[in-house]
A and B are shown apart, each in its own frame.
Chain A
Amino acid sequence: MSLLIDSVSKRFGEVQALQDVSLDIKPGEVFGFLGANGAGKTTAMRVVLDIIRPDSGTVTWNGKLNTELPRETWGYLPEERGLYAKMNVLEQLVFFAKLHGVRGKAAERETRDWLERFRIPEYADRRAEQLSKGNQQKIQFIAAILHDPQVLLMDEPFTGLDPVNVALLKEAFLEMKDRGKTLVFSTHQMETVEELCESIAILDRGIVVVAGSVRDVRRSTGRQMVRLAVEGDLELTWLATLDGVRITRHGQDYTEAEVAPGHDPGSVLRSALSRGCKIRHFEMADPSLEQIFIEHVGQIDTTERTLAPKAAQA
Chain B
Amino acid sequence: MKGWRTLFPNAWYVAVREYRSRARSRSFVLGTALLAVIAFAATQLPVLVDFAAGSSQTRLEVVVRASGLPSDSLSVLDQVLNSPASSDPNAHKAFVLTWLPGADVTQARLEALTAGKFDALLVIDRDPSTQDLTFLLRTDLTRDGPVVKAISSALTNLEIEDRLVRAGTSTGAILAPYALEVVPADSTASATNSVGHEVSTDLLSTGLIVLVFMAIITYGMWVAISVAEEKGSRVMELMLNATTPLQMLAGKVIGNGAAGLTQYGIVLAAVVGGLLAQVPIHKAVVGSNAGTQFGGLAPNVLAAFVVLFVLGFLLYSLLYAALGSLVSRQEDVQSATSPLMVLIMAGYFMSVFGLQSIDETWVKIASYVPFFSPYLMLARVSAGHVEPWEFGLSVLLLGMSIVVALFLAARIYSAGVLLYGQRLSLREVLKAARVSR
Contacts and interface: CB of A to CB of B under 8 A. Distances in A.
Interface string B218-260: 0000000000001001111111111110000000000000000
Nearest to A98: B13
Nearest to A81: B234
A53 B434 CA distance: 10
A28 to B, nearest CB: 21
A283 B270 CA distance: 84
A87 B21 contact: yes
Nearest to B415: A52
Given A52-B436, A95-B17, A82 B242 contact: no
Given A84-B233, A87-B21, A99-B13, A53 B238 contact: no
Main secondary structure of the interface of B (DSSP, over half): helix
B427 interface: no
Contacts of A74: 241
Given A52-B436, A53-B436, A95-B13, A82 B241 contact: no
Contacts of A99: 10, 13-14, 239, 242-243
B238 A78 contact: yes
Nearest to B233: A82
A46 B436 CA distance: 11
Interface string A2-22: 000000000010000000000
A100 B241 CA distance: 9
A117 interface: no
A55 B437 CA distance: 11
A144 B239 CA distance: 10
A286 B239 CA distance: 42
Contacts of B235: 82-84
Interface string B419-437: 0000000000000100111
A53 B437 contact: yes
Contacts of B25: 86
Interface in A46-103: 46, 49-53, 55, 67, 71, 74-76, 78-87, 95-96, 98-100
Contacts of B13: 95, 98-99
Given A53-B435, A53-B437, A98-B13, A78 B242 contact: no
Contacts of A81: 234, 237
Nearest to A49: B241
Nearest to B236: A82
**Listed residue (A12, A75, A96) with the most chain B CB atoms within 10 angstroms of its CB:** A96
B238 A55 contact: no
Given A51-B418, A55-B435, A96 B233 contact: no
A71 B435 contact: no
B24 to A, nearest CB: 8
Interface bracket on A? 20 to 34
Interface string B8-36: 01100110010001001100000000000
A82 B21 contact: no
Contacts of A96: 238, 242
Contacts of B233: 82-85
A161 to B, nearest CB: 17
A55 B432 CA distance: 12
Nearest to A85: B233
Specify which of B240, B241, B436 lies most central, judged by the most chain A CB atoms within 10 Å of its CB: B241
A137 interface: no
Contacts of A224: none
A53 B1 CA distance: 13
A88 to B, nearest CB: 11
A184 B436 CA distance: 23
Nearest to A100: B242
Nearest to A50: B437
A80 B237 contact: yes
Contacts of A55: 435
Q: In this complex, which of A12, A79, A98, A99 has the most chain B Cβ atoms within 10 angstroms of its Cβ?
A: A99
Interface of B: 2, 9-10, 13-14, 17, 21, 24-25, 230, 233-244, 418, 432, 435-437
Q: Please give me the 10 A-B residue pairs with the lowest Cβ-Cβ distance, nearest first.
A: A82-B234, A78-B237, A82-B235, A80-B234, A99-B242, A76-B241, A82-B233, A53-B437, A80-B237, A51-B240
